[in-house]
Structure 1
């Protein structure tokens, strides 16, 4: 068992709702997909368990681009909600998909408003740095990626739902579940059938789910950019207190709450970004109760996180500013110090950074835009 195998379920770009009949990707939820491109789903070696205050293991499962009302109307999600806590005021932090993934790992999406390939400098800290500082293991399980550490921009895989259709093309770094199983190229009902196939049996498997396992099932963003960016999120697993199963928590949470909850649970340091913004990073309530953390009373109606392309940052070619140091004076939910990456200039903060520059108008791109490669 890993102290923290984090399942990052990532895919990308535009939502195309297709009514398709569910086709299992493999012979069973514990069997590798028959249309794998190559060996994948690697993880770190087993290490000594680091106990947390509310859970010892957290598993994050992300699906794609679905409005809250669409997801909550699904039979599969309603059945799962009866086993855990429904968060009905949990919001993504921006649009489109990729910046939400970056935000959930790094506490900031750095102005990103597209799904292109970017190389973020290694001294820009992420939750991995916080975990490794406390010897907490982590892992990423990626359906249909060609191999561990794949850094190409895209690759193709056979379409097992419709063999006469073109190959699927996957974008970005982590793609699990693939783009039909996460609802991106299908529908929320298709994703629900995949959850019945893959997740429901695992919730009954003590090797996957014990009394110290928390499973966070969420969507990366909603589909309607004109509406508030709240998405259906469920807290599952036997770490959820018995008396809270089948209940609804209307506390305002965002993807930054994933970071603050992990930080509070293990008494970690912080990234000094969105994870320390108390308005945006409330800790999941039962974890806040277990750790003594006090959440902030916020209404999701007053926090609109559906804007895209309007936030200056190093990944925004229209409002470009360089990467700046985090707020080293910030205190996160775990109470530890802000993590500083090696060689980071802590004096170069947002207060002293130059004003945003429109690189697009100068026919330039941001320095971190990666090449579009394929394999």
Structure 2
């Protein structure tokens, strides 16, 4: 990897905005992302491959959408190689993060949108414990787990981040996503991965809905920007026919990996985004960026330095041009007057003798801007009873700010953040009103619509009615499932007869009715889930208990002449006959025996008389 243009890549996937929806240079509205792209590399012809989202994500790591022309494909269904196969074969490491996912590090990994925005779940050969261990969650409010990975002793060569549907602009709009990246990107660029390796950061969108010329794929182009110590500065690229497949062709060309399909094999790579790489005795170089792009009086300005070459570690110092100073790669400063200032950043390395690099820029401080606010919700389509976290922020005016919320159903709240749960399904408009501390006070409001979904009762499956003989076991199992958020199933049974048992964990009913329990029994099974409010489902099952047939193994109390255990010695010899015929046969046999006895007595008497006559 010594000669590779980059040896680490971090990729952040954003959602549903075209290039010129985002980039100010062609009519967009994302101030931070536009400034960031102008300072680094912006690809002007990066095309998408399909609609809606999931096919684009699959194309990015698989080289094709494999017929996935809709969302909702999950999981492990594609039997084809992907970029993970190529990287692991080359001894390269990887991790894939999704904000607010469950099942981190397991094959039960479940991002909030399933596989729609996380294609690693769609490939069959990803379904192994070793690979699932690299499918990781990160907390959307801070991305601590993701940033910890970048600052680990050995950061992975390939790191992927899928933000949640607010941070990625899917639900909460361009301003929310721009704000999210303005906080996260400086932390990425100052991480160990970006200060000790040849790392690059790619921010790209899955799809947009505006066409552009000279692009590949569907003819729509999206914002795609490379940055980091090895990316060029202030460069715009327009390679003909670039697309999501260029993501693969760029990685494959940089790392000497084989193509996956003819799509990535034929896509132009973007290695021209990266400069010539110095590997030994590299001179110290430094530059910096500041945010916001148009800072105002009495507001914080964040300065971020990017230093390369020389010998680590670096020391960075700042002169803010108004008498203020600071140290460290990321610093903040507040200006108290509206005018232009020259900021000077000085970086020094640890070589002997020490190398020094200096970078200067001018910043114009504007008068106090008007009060404005952004308003976000953790879900725009929650279920009834699901907790929704509303997050507000304000800029301009005079801090501190007061936040008042109405949720559209009569509920209210104050502060930031605020958690609320709707009790009924429907469409609601939530509104935040922000008031500043100026005199006189200024206020501004922002609204959003939430579509609250009704809870769905659990599905309960109960066997049909049962018939059992007294003295024998009956075992039946009921099952249930729930699609509700937090829908852990709870099973119960009422009307259980004496001696019966029901296991609510397995759903198994077991009972051996006694001979005194003949009759009909109705048992009611109920399935409820742990969502609030609960939506139980109940179903009945009837058990008919019949008496055992007489003469069987129940002690022979149905017969008249058996032994102590009710057995019949001749039953195997003579065929069974009805009771009336049996009585007739027995009576006939008794008559025959009596007749033979009388005949025998008479014969003996006749012989005795004959003997006496002969004797005389």
Q: TM-score by structure 1 length?
A: 0.55
1:251-270 matched pairs, under 5 angstroms? 251-252=239-240, 253-270=242-259
Residue 268 of structure 1: how far off its partner (Å)? 1.2
Partner Cα separation in structure 2 for residue 223 and residue 178 of structure 1: 20
Q: 1:207 to 1:53 in 2, by over 3 A?
A: closer
Residue 374 of structure 1: how far off its partner (Å)? 6.8
Partner of 1:366: none
**In the alignment, does 2:227 pair up with 1:236?**
yes
Partner Cα separation in structure 2 for residue 78 and residue 117 of structure 1: 34
**Alignment match of 2:163 (pick from 177, 199, 222):** 177
Partner of 2:198: 212
Partner of 1:55: 6
Number of matched residues? 228
Q: Is the 8 A contact 1:210 1:239 kept in 2?
A: no
Structure number with larger C-alpha Rg: 2
**In the alignment, does 2:196 pair up with 1:186?**
no
Q: 1:63 to 1:234 in 2, by over 3 A?
A: same
| Paired residue secondary structure (1:82) | helix
Partner Cα separation in structure 1 for residue 109 and residue 171 of structure 2: 19
Write the deviation string for residues 182-235 of structure 1: whole angstroms up to 9, x where unpaired.
Answer: 000011121110001111232133444545111111000003589931001101
Partner of 2:357: none
Partner Cα separation in structure 1 for residue 5 and residue 33 of structure 2: 24
Q: TM-score by structure 2 length?
A: 0.34
Q: Is the 8 A contact 2:207 2:222 kept in 1?
A: yes
Partner Cα separation in structure 2 for residue 251 and residue 225 of structure 1: 16
Q: Is the 8 A contact 2:6 2:230 kept in 1?
A: yes
1:24-173 matched pairs, under 5 angstroms? 50-51=1-2, 53-73=4-24, 74-121=30-77, 123-148=79-104, 170-172=113-115
Partner Cα separation in structure 2 for residue 96 and residue 209 of structure 1: 37
Write the deviation string for residues 222-276 of structure 1: whole angstroms up to 9, x where unpaired.
Answer: 0358993100110111111xxx311211113211111111111111112133111
Residue 67 of structure 1: how far off its partner (Å)? 1.6
Partner of 2:441: none
Write the deviation string for residues 51-72 of structure 1: whole angstroms up to 9, x where unpaired.
Answer: 4510010111110000211110
Q: Is the 8 A contact 1:265 1:287 kept in 2?
A: no
| Paired residue secondary structure (1:98) | helix
Gap runs ≥5 in structure 1: 1-49, 156-168, 292-371
| Paired residue secondary structure (1:124) | coil
Partner Cα separation in structure 1 for residue 44 and residue 92 of structure 2: 30
Q: Is the 8 A contact 2:254 2:271 kept in 1?
A: no
Partner Cα separation in structure 2 for residue 86 and residue 137 of structure 1: 27
Q: Report the aligned-residue RMSD.
A: 3.0
* Larger relative contact order (Cα-Cα within 8 Å, sequence gap ≥ 6): 1
